[in-house]
Structure 1
Amino acid sequence: MPENCDTHIGARMRDIRKRRGLTQRELATASGVSLSLVRKLEQGEVRDTRMETAHRLARSLRVATSSLLRREEVVKPVAEPWRPLQEAVEHPPGQPDEEPSIDGARSSLPALRSAFFKNHLQEVSALLVPLLRDVDVLGDGEEARALRAHALQIAGSVLTQASQFGAAETALSRAADAAPDRLRAASVRTTWTWLLVRQGRLAEAREMATRWADEVEPRISRATTEELAAWGWLLLQVSAASLRDNRAGEAQDAMRLARSVAVMTGKELPRGDSRLATWGPVTVAYKNAERGIVLDRPDEVLKVADQLKAVGPAASTEFHRHRMDVARAHVMMRQYGEAVDVLSEVRAQAPEWLAEQRSARDVMAEVVQHRRTLTPGMRELADEVGVPM
């Protein structure tokens, strides 16, 4: 899904626009971005714009999106609900009251994974904090490392969803170091590249995903389904980062190969021991539909949604993200009531997850802006996803 890039791109955009010989109005016309927003970006009045907006501007300026995005090394305070998890990730553990055991740590995984896959993020955080303290002192045996890598990867995923990017990167870096085998390491990199895309670090995301896709590419004649899933997910990440970085050809090639890997797999695989996501034709279809948001083709997103309308949330870990794309597509087509209906469905199934989605705030902000009146349900939803007054 397109994310927001919290960075001031205006100065770089202005310099490139001048080199291209374009006026602000000509850039606005070519990109489909409002003249008002172009002016505010260049003047630094607006420093927070959606990734899809940055992509449109970069495409019109004929540069990679990543060249517009300059990371500002600002340490943001950790939001209070996530502070215990951040401290468990970043700070060395104290001496435990009782010596933890591998069996004890392993026994806590079913409840943790169940809460994670149900998107009960606060429950996940509460379960992770003591588990991370335990796995940190279990030693460096293979099973201890596997448990540590798994817990840290889940922590990195949750912190990414909560936009706690610094702590998320620490968790994923530690998970990569702990990973005892190639498939688990590849799974960690899949989550890590998603974090990089969320931050607008597109070149880094593309390079990491490409390097690891090359690393885990199996011999097809004897590849296991887990090897195919690991490879396929990294190809999806190559495609996602490349598309947002205005490298449409590379994105298309990677997506085409990912679809072929899904066909080889033959069915939707459930989450594995090392994978935090499903893999198969449905998941790939959802990720392929995401291209319609980035490329300003919302009708393609809605077409896929119609084709897969019988598929429920249990089929793919990407279901709710796809529904967010559907809501965004409705807004792009000025179908505001339909967008709210989709968000309401997601809220009923995953309220904690929805509350952390910046794209949900963007969708509801546009609904508030363009609807003459708001229903009580719309006002309630806008409050829940944090649309500012």
Structure 2
Amino acid sequence: MDDDLIGKRIAAQRKARGMTQVALAHDAAISLSLLRKVEQGERDCSQSTLASVARVLRVDAGTLTGQPYDTDEPRKDRIHKYIPDLRRALNSWDLSIDLDHKPRPLSELAADAKNVAHQLQLGRNRRLAEMLPALLTEAFAMVHATDDERERDALGRVLLAYAHAAHTVAHQTGYEDLAAGVEDRIQWIASYTQDPAAKGFAAWMRTTSIMRDGLYEPGLRLLDSVRAEIEPGGRDDDATLLAVGSLHLRSSLLAGRAGNLALAMDHVEQAQQISTHLTTDTDNDWQHMAFGPSNVAIYRVASAVESGDGPRALAIADEMRLPDHMLTRLPTRVAHHKTDLARAYFWQGKHDKSLESLELARKAAPQQTRHHPAVREVTNLLVRAHRRSNEPLARFHAWLGPDPEW
């Protein structure tokens, strides 16, 4: 079980390079005490720490997290068998491919895009991985086969829905190289649409790999630039306002990981003002950019967690109540929120509350939760911290992978 901890993998990589903890902490610009706690299994490894350490050790983040998980038989997660087909379909983006069937009407592709967005909202990654290869191949082929600008615009919107789902599957399952490639495809697809929000969506997606590599300041500048470009100003354009608000929330996440809680909260406040104007929690079909008062509240907690302020995160969470429709419409957002709370509770020594939050994340979005590095890390730390049998924790740990060792 200890070997599954990110801290243990960091220690192994560090020792293999003949580095001391002092040298690694200095070069990664993190405190020595934090590094020691992470390596000793007393603290989970944050995304910002992971990015900094991976850079110094010259390894991919997946080397330290162990992703993708469960790729070996006999307990191989079924989602992995669909990844090769998904990779091949995404690789056809710039090729003129002859379909083995007559292209379907755009209305049917648009209906598929709505279904894809719905499956994405519900966190059904395995189903998406199965259905996306054929959908992507068909839509890519149709884009290259038409010279009609309006038809390309419609196909671009469809492809954005497909590509977003493909990115989510790849990223959440741990295929980060594939996810980064999808981000490039989304930049290209966005150029086919006439919707100004598409450029904001592409920038939002681009910051996934930017955050993974710890490039927070460049990422913040990118989002600032795109927000200024698409800001509707005095125009009554709710769709673009939604994109701008979502970009503010994304900036709050980058600022939090950069350790700038004040800037993170400033972006949350600006998003709050926009959400007040829009009034409802919503999603934009192909964009699936969750936005509204509830998601702003979730990001308040996330910003505090990302900056390492557990007490503040829990204090904010105590004052918020997520509406029931969040669990039915956006269970993946609820799961992210509960995972953040699990980390904050663990930091405060509230292990029962931490496990309770993990269970709620599992209930909300099981496929996403099972592959989340923070979920596995906190679970392993909880197992390590318990010297006596804890049946609920044992069951949860077994659900994630191997049986717990007591």
Question: What are the Cα deviations for residues 113-143 of structure 1, in whole angstroms up to 9, with x where unaligned?
Answer: 2221111110011121110011011125211
Which residues of 2 match residues 1-389 of structure 1 at below 5 A?
A: 27-29=31-33, 32-34=34-36, 37=39, 49-51=45-47, 53=49, 72=59, 80-81=80-81, 82-91=83-92, 92=95, 94-101=97-104, 102-139=106-143, 141-179=152-190, 180=193, 181-219=195-233, 221-265=234-278, 267-312=279-324, 313-314=327-328, 316=330, 318-386=333-401
Question: What are the Cα deviations for residues 143-190 of structure 1, in whole angstroms up to 9, with x where unaligned?
Answer: 112212221122112211112111112112112211213212212321
Q: Give 1:315 deviation, angstroms.
A: 6.0
- Give the % identical residues: 16
Q: Give 1:66 deviation, angstroms.
A: 9.6
TM-score with structure 1 setting the length: 0.80
Helix, strand or coil: the match of 1:309? coil
> Quick one: structure 1 residues 223 and 374, their matched pair in 2 at CA, closer, same or farther if it must change by over 3 Å?
farther
Question: What are the Cα deviations for residues 324-365 of structure 1, in whole angstroms up to 9, with x where unaligned?
Answer: 111111111111122112212222232111111111001101
TM-score with structure 2 setting the length: 0.77
Highest RCO, 1 vs 2 (Cα 8 Å, sep ≥ 6):
2
Alpha-carbon separation, structure 2, partners of 1:293 and 1:256: 17
Q: Which amino acid aligns with 2:336?
A: R
Instruction: Please name the residue that 2:3 is paired with.
Output: none
Q: Which amino acid aligns with 1:145?
A: G
Tell me the C-alpha RMSD between the 2 structures.
Answer: 3.5
Q: Give 1:69 deviation, angstroms.
A: 5.8
Question: What are the Cα deviations for residues 168-219 of structure 1, in whole angstroms up to 9, with x where unaligned?
Answer: 1211211221121321221232122134323433344323322212222220
Instruction: Please name the residue that 2:77 is paired with.
Output: none
> Quick one: structure 1 residues 18 and 298, their matched pair in 2 at CA, closer, same or farther if it must change by over 3 Å?
closer
> Quick one: structure 1 residues 359 and 195, their matched pair in 2 at CA, closer, same or farther if it must change by over 3 Å?
same
Q: Which amino acid aligns with 2:314?
A: L
> Quick one: structure 1 residues 328 and 67, their matched pair in 2 at CA, closer, same or farther if it must change by over 3 Å?
closer
Q: Which amino acid aligns with 1:85?
A: L
Gaps of 5+ in 2: 1-5, 72-79, 147-151
Alpha-carbon separation, structure 2, partners of 1:184 and 1:243: 25
Question: What are the Cα deviations for residues 58-109 of structure 1, in whole angstroms up to 9, with x where unaligned?
Answer: xxxxxxx699667647998976332221221124575321022223322322
- Alignment check: 8 A CA contact 1:69 1:200 kept: no
Alpha-carbon separation, structure 1, partners of 2:376 and 2:62: 23
Instruction: Please name the residue that 1:43 is paired with.
Output: none
Q: Which amino acid aligns with 2:117?
A: R
Instruction: Please name the residue that 1:62 is paired with.
Output: none
* Mean Cα deviation higher: 326-335 or 371-380: 371-380
> Quick one: structure 1 residues 70 and 97, their matched pair in 2 at CA, closer, same or farther if it must change by over 3 Å?
same
